[in-house]
Structure 1
Amino acid sequence: MKLYNFFRSGTSHRLRIALNLKNLTYEQVAVDLRREEHLGEAFKAINPQQMVPALNVDGLILTQSPAIIEWLEERYPHPPLLPSSPLDRAHVRALAAIIGCDVHPINNRRILEMLRHDFAADETAVERWCQTWIGHGFDSFEAQLASPSLRSNFCFGDRPTLADVYLIPQIESARRFKVDMARWPRLLAIDAACSTLESFKHAVPSAQPDAS
């Protein structure tokens, strides 16, 4: 497998975690978003949408991190990222969707670049934008974890699931945008538990070959 990604990309980060949790070996190819390499013809030939990550599997290019992670779960079901019960799987998918559908899309690089260049937002305004929507999402996420029956070191059960795969990169992003995490103690506890696992340690942006 060959993973086209950028060290600081949240979607790339989540896919690295999923690949690591599945104990899969992959080669990394850096696509530097700061230099807009994703907009060049070379990468457009790999992914016409010109977004990271993209995963080359035996010459077939997979795109969109949710679809790639679902494929990983189907192709490499052990260890699982989803619980066995259909209701529990729905709960975990809903947690992941808070991040993947409601938080990350309006805080990703292309949105922030549009705020800067088309709406003349300064960095204070950009940070406020990110803090607002990350905060709303984390409030909802924490509330979903309030049930005593769900208490564990992770988002659900005694091992990382799809929900943790989505949550941890968003926490990384939240810290980059100076979000005060103190109001979400459960999320902080989950982040601390995940940070002890090699799969998460090796996926962090600062540990990537293109980190700078």
Structure 2
Amino acid sequence: MKLYFHPASTTSRIILLFVSEEGIPFEPEVVDILSGAHLSGSFPSINPKRLVPALDDDGFIVTESAAILRYLAAKTGSAAYPTDLKERARVDEMIDYLNSDFYRDWGYNMIYPQLFPHHKRESDAAHEGTVRWGQDRVRNGLAYLDSVLAKQRYLAGDKLTIADYFGAGVFSAGELIRVDLAQFPNLQRWYESMRSLPSWPKVSEALEGFKGMLKDMSFVSIP
């Protein structure tokens, strides 16, 4: 299997953490999104959406990080994706919440507009309004996740699942703007447990480098 990714990509690191922890063999193919390699050359034939990650399993192409996670977990029989229908539904429910609801405001309304010029809104007023909207929505999401984790060890129950790998990757982006989770102690406890996984330091090397580049910048975070 060949995995197309970039180590600084949030969605790529979700997959990298999972395959590293599970010991799933793959052929790495770095797509340099910083130089625009995802927009030209051969990559658009792999993923016409021109986004990483993408998985090529002997000619069968899977895109979207959540779909790749599910595919790899099911293919390898990973315990991180339970076969019990109700347990699996809880995992899918949490992944879908994180991906389609929380990440929209966390990433695209609060974090990325402050980091990347192509995510900045057209006017200062629109930009500030977007970030403020993101803050409000994110606070609600953090409170919800904290309440979930007050009752169980992991996001989808008391066992580590692919929902936790997905969530940990999403939450790692918050480190770039120095989000402090102290006011959400259950969520903070869970995130620190994910950061303590053996593969985390290696997978997060690019994230740490990016954080170093941003150390002198100030950001709007969670009030």
TM-score (norm 2): 0.75
Distance 1:120 1:7 in 2: 31
- Equivalent residue for 1:142? 146
Q: Deviations over 1:102-147 (max 9, x none)?
A: 12245259x745542x52459x847656544443332222222232
- Equivalent residue for 2:97? 98
Q: Cα RMSD (Å) of the superposition?
A: 3.1
Distance 1:128 1:37 in 2: 33
Unpaired segments ≥5 residues, structure 1? none
- Equivalent residue for 1:172? 172
TM-score (norm 1): 0.79
Residue identity matched to 1:94 = E
Cα distance change on mapping 1:132 and 1:120 into 2, 3 Å: same
Q: How does 1:5-154 map to 2 (within 5 A)?
A: 5-78=5-78, 80-106=79-105, 107-108=107-108, 112=113, 114-116=118-120, 119-121=122-124, 125=128, 128=132, 131-147=135-151, 150=152, 152=153, 154=154
Residue identity matched to 2:89 = A
Residue identity matched to 2:75 = R
Higher relative contact order (CA 8 A, sep 6+): 1
Distance 1:108 1:3 in 2: 25
Q: Deviations over 1:83-108 (max 9, x none)?
A: 35433322222222221111224525
Cα distance change on mapping 1:26 and 1:70 into 2, 3 Å: same
Determine what percentage of the aligned residue pairs are the same residue.
25
Unpaired segments ≥5 residues, structure 2? 214-223
Query: Which secondary structure does the structure 2 equivalent of 1:4 belong to?
Result: strand
Residues paired across the two proteins, number: 204
Distance 1:108 1:29 in 2: 26
